[in-house]
Amino acid sequence: MFENNYQDIELTCSDCNSTFVFSAEEQEFYAEKGFASPKRCPACRANRKKQRNSSRKRYPAKCSKCGCDTTVPFRPREDKEIYCTDCYAAMKAQQQEQEQAPVVETEETLVQQEQ
């Protein structure tokens, strides 16, 4: 039987040039999935992932509250209210203020939740 004797190796990140450990476990995982060895350290990989997510397509929309131009990460619908970042933050703050009022759970609502 062939043994997968992987050993931790050090690779150099192609983005920040720092070395990082490509562990035996990861090597096995990558080999299983048929992936090539990583070119970037975990931090740079996470960064790139974040960048990809933030550059995801956004749709232009008009804020229902102040009427300014904004973008949303989903296709705006005519029947849905769209808020710009400022109005959204203001609305959220207002909501939180309201939520600070004690919420009384009646037996009725609890029963409904269980169903």
Of 8 and 109, which has the nearer Cβ to Zn ion? 8
State the minimum distance, in angstroms, from the CB of residue 7 to Zn ion: 22
Of 74 and 109, which has the nearer Cβ to Zn ion? 74
Q: How far apart are CA 28 and CA 93, in angstroms?
A: 48
Q: How far apart are CA 109 and CA 115, in angstroms?
A: 10
Residue 17: left (phi > 0), alpha (psi -120 to 50), or beta?
A: left
Q: How many CB atoms lie within 10 A of CB 70?
A: 20
State the minimum distance, in angstroms, from the CB of residue 14 to Zn ion: 8
Of 15 and 26, which has the nearer Cβ to Zn ion? 15
State the minimum distance, in angstroms, from the CB of residue 81 to Zn ion: 10
CA 85-88-90 angle, to 5 degrees, is 110
State the minimum distance, in angstroms, from the CB of residue 92 to Zn ion: 13
List residues near Zn ion by CB under 5 A: 13, 15-16, 41, 44, 63, 65-66, 84, 87
Of 44 and 61, which has the nearer Cβ to Zn ion? 44
What tokens appear for 7 in the block? 């050993």
